[in-house]
Amino acid sequence: MDHKHLEAFVLSALVLSLILLAWHCRADLADAHQGHDHIPPSAEQYRRQLIREVRYYFGLNEPVSPFAAQIHQESAWRSGICSPYACGLGQQTEATAQDLARMYPKDLEGRAAPLDPHWSIRAMVLYMRQFHRAYPVPDYWEERAFSLARYNGGSGHVQRERTMAKAAGADPNRWFLHVERFCKRAAWACRENRDYPRKILFRWEPLYRAAGW
């Protein structure tokens, strides 16, 4: 092989390596945010804590499976993962983590530590409790959808969208097929926020419920 052909071969191999690396990185990122259609083995090490936190802050009759499904969607149970905006099992942003640490100094030991899996689980449960029964919604799953939408996109957005829904003749106390139809954010933010409750409640929650969570 002459020098020119050797250079071409090396260049082709380098390009192929970069393509494969990019593909693997993209697959890892998708796995981190979407998980697989099975419960990751890493979920089991946090199962008891999640059950304790849900029962303590929500009561003994609160289903644990929606919370497990939420962590599945957020991080696929990878405690050390970070997106450009948030970190940890519950994917709290830095600002949200600081706010929660100030609001619940005893529960969260006065610190913001989203990369600590135990802190992140408790913070997620506490944050969801803020949204619990905030609106006079007709049933548990509608209430849960509202809470998830607020966790993902903020309470202010959801409240404005309830107002929009009511003005258009939709039911502001129902999320599915009502409030979820109204969104005035960036297109990507609307898609993400609308997908969030549906994936958690319709895709992941049945997985955990069937597994006895």
Q: How many CB atoms lie within 10 A of CB 23?
A: 10
Amino acid at position 30, single letter: A
* Span 68-126, pLDDT tens digits: 999 999 999 999 999 999 999 999 999 999 999 999 999 999 999 999 999 999 999 99
CA 26 from centroid of its chain's CA atoms: 18
- CA 5, 11, 12, 15: dihedral to nearest 10 degrees? 180
Model confidence at 55: pLDDT above 60: yes
Model confidence at 6: pLDDT above 60: no
| Domains in the chain: boundaries | 1-34, 38-210
Res 7: pLDDT: 53
Average pLDDT, rounded, for the chain: 88
Integer CA distances (angstroms), 5 to 2, 12, 38, in order:
5, 10, 47
- Beta bridge partner(s), residue 86: 93
CA 207 from centroid of its chain's CA atoms: 16
Res 71: pLDDT: 98
Residues 6+ apart with CB under 8 A from 175: 137, 142, 145, 146, 149, 197
Model confidence at 142: pLDDT above 50: yes
Eight-class DSSP state of 153:
H
Res 17: pLDDT: 43
Res 36: pLDDT: 63
Q: How many CB atoms lie within 10 A of CB 100?
A: 23
Architecture of domain 38-210 in CATH?
Orthogonal Bundle (1.10)
pLDDT band at 42 (very low <50, low <70, confident <90, very high): very high
pLDDT band at 30 (very low <50, low <70, confident <90, very high): very low
